[in-house]
């Protein structure tokens, strides 16, 4: 098996080094862009500092980097194969009687291993970093989140005829603490009575303790309160399951979160889709590698770069868009989560293998 031979180890090492440099370059680019955007958006906050902005950017990068993993696998595969082609190394390999299916094994194995590392290492770091960045932003006194206000999750509680809707930008301490809280009170007829905006809310024994509250009522001037209490009968587990977004939950916690959400009668399509997407990520990177191989194996000494780059970028972009689109259908319950996560991967792998079969075996 060529994978464990000297040649296989050489190809695997070349792929690993190329992937590392692509990750390093993208990390640096993301860091510069995100730090600049963060500084422009938050430099006026009372507790903003340069060191804090650098720290927040560091916390946010893993989540952003996680979104670029499929493209890193695509470009690393293309760059590695193009480099080997231009240096006649693949030509010599073919002349030695080794087929494309054999010398592609180290690249496929490398992309599969890259996907596993992205799931078991990068994903937990990204989840933790996102929660730390949101907490740091709230501590600066930000009244808006980096996440769109339209995406703020909401929950409803009815306690002693007090009908309220509670929203928060982030959930911390296992559902015990909410950051960036908005509470809207309704009367029995469904009309809005008042609104409370608080910097944070901590779940105590039978009530929410709101801190730094701005209370607004119809026909009255807003009131500034240091603290306020909101009676509740909600449990921390229910709050966490309701307010936490599926993509912010680390992979190892998803199965437990799904079971807990089902016990509360909450919809689990988003978390199930995220879980299957994480499981399918290694094979998605394998599909990207097959697509890269399908446009990179044809030998050309000089004029290969432009069509290869354009073809590879277009193919990878289409696959990524389809994957995200079908994942959105799965999260909303339109498509079963298993189908939404695995269908684009299976189709892409079949398409890449078909093109390679046509090019290599006629």
Write the pLDDT tens digit of every residue in 67-89. 999 999 999 998 898 888 888 88
Q: Looking at residue 219, what DSSP letter applies? A: T
Higher-pLDDT residue of 295 and 360 is: 295
How far apart are the C-alpha atoms of 114 and 120, rounded to whole Å? 10
What is the CA angle 265-269-273, rounded to 5? Answer: 145
Q: Which pair of structure tokens corresponds to residue 24?
A: 């390093």
pLDDT for 123 equals: 92
**Residues 6+ away with beta carbon under 8 Å from 201:** 166, 168, 177, 178, 181, 183, 208, 209, 210, 211, 230
The pTM of this model reads 0.78
How far apart are the C-alpha atoms of 171 and 238, rounded to whole Å? 11
Angle at which helices 269-296 and 251-263 cross, to 10°: 150
3-state SS, residue 330: helix
Average pLDDT, the chain: 83
Beta bridge partners of 183: 166, 196
Q: Looking at residue 174, what DSSP letter applies? A: G
Q: Contact 348/287 with Cβ under 8 angstroms?
A: yes
Q: Which pair of structure tokens corresponds to residue 359?
A: 């090019």
Angle at which helices 105-117 and 50-86 cross, to 10°: 170
pLDDT for 124 equals: 93
pLDDT for 13 equals: 93
Instruction: Report, as an integer, the average pLDDT of 179-205.
Output: 87
pLDDT for 302 equals: 52
pLDDT digits (tens, 9 = 90+) for 195-241: 999 988 888 878 889 999 999 988 888 899 999 998 888 777 777 67
**Segment among 175-179, 237-241, 274-278 with least mean pLDDT:** 237-241
Domain ranges of the chain: 2-141+267-361, 154-243
Higher-pLDDT residue of 338 and 297 is: 338
Q: How many CB atoms lie within 10 A of CB 36?
A: 12
pLDDT for 149 equals: 39
Instruction: Report, as an integer, the average pLDDT of 180-206.
Output: 87
How far apart are the C-alpha atoms of 361 and 122, rounded to whole Å? 38
pLDDT for 159 equals: 77
Q: Which pair of structure tokens corresponds to residue 108?
A: 């496929």
Residue 321: which pLDDT band, with cuts at 50, 70 and 90? confident
Q: Which pair of structure tokens corresponds to residue 72?
A: 């890193």
Rounded to 5 degrees, what are φ and ψ at 172?
Answer: -130, 165
Instruction: Report, as an integer, the average pLDDT of 343-349.
Output: 89
Q: Contact 262/241 with Cβ under 8 angstroms?
A: no
pLDDT digits (tens, 9 = 90+) for 304-316: 557 767 777 788 7
Asked whether residue 145 carries a pLDDT value surpassing 60, the answer given is no
pLDDT for 115 equals: 94
Residue 147: which pLDDT band, with cuts at 50, 70 and 90? very low
How far apart are the C-alpha atoms of 208 and 168, rounded to whole Å? 13
Rounded to 5 degrees, what are φ and ψ at 181?
Answer: -95, 140
Residue 100: which pLDDT band, with cuts at 50, 70 and 90? confident
Q: How far is CA 314 from CA 186, 282, 284, 300, 321, in A?
A: 51, 21, 16, 20, 11
**Segment among 103-107, 204-208, 262-266 with least mean pLDDT:** 262-266
pLDDT for 215 equals: 92
pLDDT for 47 equals: 76
Residue 142: which pLDDT band, with cuts at 50, 70 and 90? low
Q: Contact 169/179 with Cβ under 8 angstroms?
A: yes
How far apart are the C-alpha atoms of 207 and 256, rounded to whole Å? 27
Long-range CB contacts (< 8 A, 24+ apart) of 51-55?
52/136, 52/140, 55/136
Residue 174: which pLDDT band, with cuts at 50, 70 and 90? low
**Segment among 320-324, 331-335, 356-360 with least mean pLDDT:** 356-360
Asked whether residue 152 carries a pLDDT value surpassing 70, the answer given is no
DSSP assignment of 2-58, as one string? Answer: GGGSHHHHHHHHHHHHHHHHHHHHHHHHHHHHHHHHHHHHHTTSTT--HHHHHHHHH
What is the CA angle 130-237-120, rounded to 5? Answer: 40
Please give the distance of CA 27 from its chain centroid, rounded to a whole number.
15
Q: Looking at residue 187, what DSSP letter applies? A: -
Residue 24: which pLDDT band, with cuts at 50, 70 and 90? very high
Identify the residue whose tokens are 């963060």: 38
Share of the chain above pLDDT 70, in %: 89
Asked whether residue 63 carries a pLDDT value surpassing 50, the answer given is yes
């Amino acid at each position: 098996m060529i994978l464990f031979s000297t040649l296989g180890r050489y190809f695997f090492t070349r792929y690993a080094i190329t992937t590392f440099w692509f990750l390093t370059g993208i990390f640096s680019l993301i860091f510069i862009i995100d730090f600049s955007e963060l500084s422009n958006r938050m430099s006026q906050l009372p507790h903003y500092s340069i060191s804090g902005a650098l720290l927040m950017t560091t916390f946010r990068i893993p989540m952003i980097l996680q979104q670029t993993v499929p493209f890193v696998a695509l470009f690393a595969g293309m760059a590695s194969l193009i480099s080997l082609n231009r240096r006649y190394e693949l030509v010599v390999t073919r002349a030695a009687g080794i087929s494309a299916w054999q010398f592609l094994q180290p690249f496929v194995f490398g992309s599969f291993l890259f996907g596993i590392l992205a799931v078991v290492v990068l994903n937990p770091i990204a989840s933790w970093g996102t929660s730390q960045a949101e907490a740091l932003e709230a501590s600066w006194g930000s009244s808006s989140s980096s996440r769109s206000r339209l995406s703020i999750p909401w929950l409803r509680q009815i306690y002693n005829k007090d009908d309220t809707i509670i929203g928060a930008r982030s959930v911390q301490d296992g559902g015990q603490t909410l950051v960036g809280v908005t509470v809207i009170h309704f009367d029995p007829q469904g009309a809005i009575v008042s609104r409370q905006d608080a910097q944070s809310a901590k779940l105590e024994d039978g009530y929410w303790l709101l801190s730094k509250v701005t209370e607004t009522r119809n026909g009255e001037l807003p009131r500034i309160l240091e603290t306020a209490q909101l009676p509740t009968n909600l449990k921390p587990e229910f709050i966490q399951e309701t307010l936490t977004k599926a993509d912010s939950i680390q992979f190892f916690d998803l199965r437990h979160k799904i079971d807990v959400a089902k016990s509360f009668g909450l919809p689990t399509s988003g978390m199930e889709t995220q879980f299957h997407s994480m499981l399918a990520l290694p094979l998605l990177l394998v599909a990207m590698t097959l697509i890269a191989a399908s446009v990179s194996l044809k030998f050309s000494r000089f004029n290969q770069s432009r069509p290869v780059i354009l073809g590879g970028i277009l193919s990878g972009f289409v696959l990524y868009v389809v994957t995200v689109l079908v994942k959105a259908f799965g999260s909303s319950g339109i498509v079963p989560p298993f189908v939404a996560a695995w269908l684009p991967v299976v189709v892409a792998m079949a398409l890449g293998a078909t093109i390679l079969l046509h090019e290599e075996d006629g």
